């Protein structure tokens, strides 16, 4: 598989030009499109995480997998084709961009890279931005699901017993002390807390692969173990899957994550460390 990251200087001199997707998004707002309109990478097309990278909230959680046909239409409208490199970015730490990376990979696009450090790194280098909204030529990408491993609730529960199930949320949410979004605080029994902030430095760039390998190995996540990841709704968990990929550790994503787990009142909830 192609290296999943690209740095700003490499992107700035890259030819032919890739399709660039702006995936800025924050759980509590404001809408990412507002930041996009204020300034974005030249030629970048805005992709709305809630609309284009997820289905409507429901039984599958707050951000279920997008329906295959809907995802294909959204990516084609953004100019995505199978034979053209796609670069995705968000503000800085790839929390949202990783969801786009994961979705594109899951639906069969094998030439996707995340801009390390995102928009913040780009502007810090003094590279140009623009406010005009491009009208990309429609792409020809064909979405075919199943190219990355996933978990459902039963699979996540089983993996927590037989392998390593990482919970990518903040520690206080994992312990059940605070839950700002979902109706119940806590975690899946047997899961190990691995907040995504530990994957990046203060500049939002990912840590070097050896440091990531050491971090995940200390949590029981190695290439010799079966590893899965969840979070609140499958967004930051995609970030963790990306970090694990950099570390050389394959991992399955529980897309529905905690918000899906809670839809079944018989699922147990653990609290504490």
pLDDT classification of 118: cutoffs 50, 70, 90: very high
C-alpha–C-alpha distance, residues 66 and 211, integer Å: 33
Q: Which domains does the chain have, with CATH numbers?
A: 5-124 (3.40.250.10), 150-261 (3.40.250.10)
Mean pLDDT of 187-199: 98
Is 103 designated active site? no
C-alpha–C-alpha distance, residues 258 and 187, integer Å: 7
**In sequence order, what are the residues at sequence separation of 6 or more whose Cβ sits closer than 8 angstroms to the Cβ of residue 131?**
37, 38, 39, 40
Residue 1 has pLDDT above 70, yes or no: no
pLDDT classification of 236: cutoffs 50, 70, 90: very high
Tell me how crowded residue 269 is: count the other CB atoms within 10 A of its CB. 15
Q: Annotated catalytic residue: which of 112, 231, 237, 253?
A: 231
pLDDT classification of 106: cutoffs 50, 70, 90: very high
Mean pLDDT of 197-226: 97
pLDDT classification of 29: cutoffs 50, 70, 90: confident
Angle between helices 236-246 and 209-218 in degrees, nearest 10: 110
Residue 2 has pLDDT above 90, yes or no: no
pTM exceeds 0.85, yes or no: yes
Residue 225 · residue 250 · CB < 8 Å: no
Mean pLDDT of 117-141: 97
CA distances from 208 to 90, 211, 227 (A): 20, 6, 20
CA Rg value for the chain: 18
Question: In the prediction, which pLDDT does 90 show?
Answer: 98
CA diameter of the chain = 54
241 phi, psi to nearest 5 deg: -60, -40
């Amino acid at each position: 598989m192609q290296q999943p990251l690209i740095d700003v200087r490499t992107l700035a001199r890259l030819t032919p030009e890739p399709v660039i997707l702006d995936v800025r998004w924050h759980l509590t707002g404001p809408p990412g499109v507002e930041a996009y309109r204020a300034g974005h990478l030249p030629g970048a097309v805005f992709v709305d995480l809630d609309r284009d990278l997820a289905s409507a909230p429901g039984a599958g959680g707050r951000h279920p997998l997008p329906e295959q046909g809907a995802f294909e239409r959204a990516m084609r409208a953004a100019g995505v084709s199978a034979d053209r490199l796609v670069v995705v970015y968000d503000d800085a730490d790839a929390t949202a961009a990783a969801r786009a990376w994961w979705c594109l990979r899951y639906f069969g696009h094998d030439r996707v890279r995340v801009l390390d450090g995102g928009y913040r790194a780009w502007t810090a280098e003094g590279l140009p931005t623009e406010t005009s909204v491009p009208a990309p030529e429609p792409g020809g990408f064909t979405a075919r699901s199943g190219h990355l491993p996933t978990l459902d609730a039963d699979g996540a529960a089983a993996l927590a017993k037989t392998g390593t199930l990482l919970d990518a949320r903040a520690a206080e949410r994992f312990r059940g002390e605070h839950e700002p979004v979902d109706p119940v605080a806590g975690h899946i029994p047997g899961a190990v807390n691995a907040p995504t902030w530990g994957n990046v430095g203060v500049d939002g760039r990912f840590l070097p692969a050896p440091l990531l390998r050491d971090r995940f190995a200390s949590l029981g996540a190695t290439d010799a173990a079966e590893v899965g990841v969840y979070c609140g709704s499958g967004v930051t968990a995609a970030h963790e899957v990306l970090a694990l990929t950099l570390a050389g550790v394959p991992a399955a994503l529980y897309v529905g994550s905690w918000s899906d787990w809670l839809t079944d009142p018989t699922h147990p909830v653990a609290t504490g460390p």
